[in-house]
């Protein structure tokens, strides 16, 4: 158990989907996972583990903004051994060929937030592991 996640060891899968909205986490679990069970309700930030195509997958709400997300991402990796973090959510687009309900899989992202300067010198645009990225595509 960590400070913000009340799961017991082994209750969280190595792959975790991460919507910001905890109710979206609940919807994903109820809609796409078999035998979904809730492992976290701390501060209303819901987390579930179930099966997707026979593979154990978790879904954990991470809240709004980078600081909140960092709390959950850090605890999932450090305290629960999570290997694959997959952010899922909504976004806007300036591209006219991107329509409502299109799926975009980003290989990299950048931010002007100060959060990275607390952890690394300079700026940093994290890039997905190429194997994980290609498996997602």
Q: Give a three-class secondary structure readout of 26-45.
A: HHHHHHHCEEEEEEECHHHC
Q: What percent of the chain has pLDDT over 90?
A: 61
User: pTM for the whole thing?
Assistant: 0.85
What does the DSSP assignment read for 60-116?
E---SSHHHHHHHHHHHHHHH---EEEE--------TT--TT-----SB-----GGG
Handedness of CA 8, 83, 68, 48 (dihedral sign): negative
Using only C-alpha atoms, what is the Rg of the chain?
Answer: 15
User: Averaged over 23-45, what is the pLDDT?
Assistant: 98
Q: How confident is the model at residue 104 (pLDDT cuts 50, 70, 90)?
A: confident
Q: Report residue 77: phi and psi, to 5°.
A: -75, -55
Given this model, what pLDDT does residue 72 score?
A: 97
The per-residue pLDDT for 125 is 78
According to the model, what pLDDT value does residue 105 have?
87
54-73 per-position pLDDT tens digit: 999 999 999 998 889 999 99
Helix (H, G, I), strand (E, B) or coil at 118: helix
Homologous superfamily of the 15-136 domain (CATH): Nucleoside phosphorylase domain (3.40.50.1580)
Q: Which residue has the tokens 């158990």?
A: 1
Look up residue 7 and give its DSSP letter. P
What residues does each domain of the chain span?
15-136
Is the distance from CB of 109 to CB of 81 less than 8 angstroms?
no
């Amino acid at each position: 158990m960590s400070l913000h996640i009340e799961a017991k060891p082994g209750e969280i899968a190595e792959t975790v989907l991460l919507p910001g909205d905890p109710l979206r986490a609940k919807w994903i679990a109820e809609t796409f996972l078999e035998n979904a069970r809730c492992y976290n309700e701390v501060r209303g930030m819901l987390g579930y583990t179930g099966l997707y195509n026979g593979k154990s997958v978790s879904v954990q709400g991470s809240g709004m903004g980078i600081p909140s997300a960092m709390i959950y991402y850090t605890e999932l990796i450090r305290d629960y051994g999570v290997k694959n973090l997959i952010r899922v959510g909504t976004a806007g687009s300036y591209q006219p060929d991107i329509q409502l309900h299109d799926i975009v899989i980003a290989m990299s992202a950048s931010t002007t937030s100060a959060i990275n300067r607390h952890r690394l010198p300079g700026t940093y645009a994290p890039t997905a592991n190429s194997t994980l990225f290609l498996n997602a595509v």
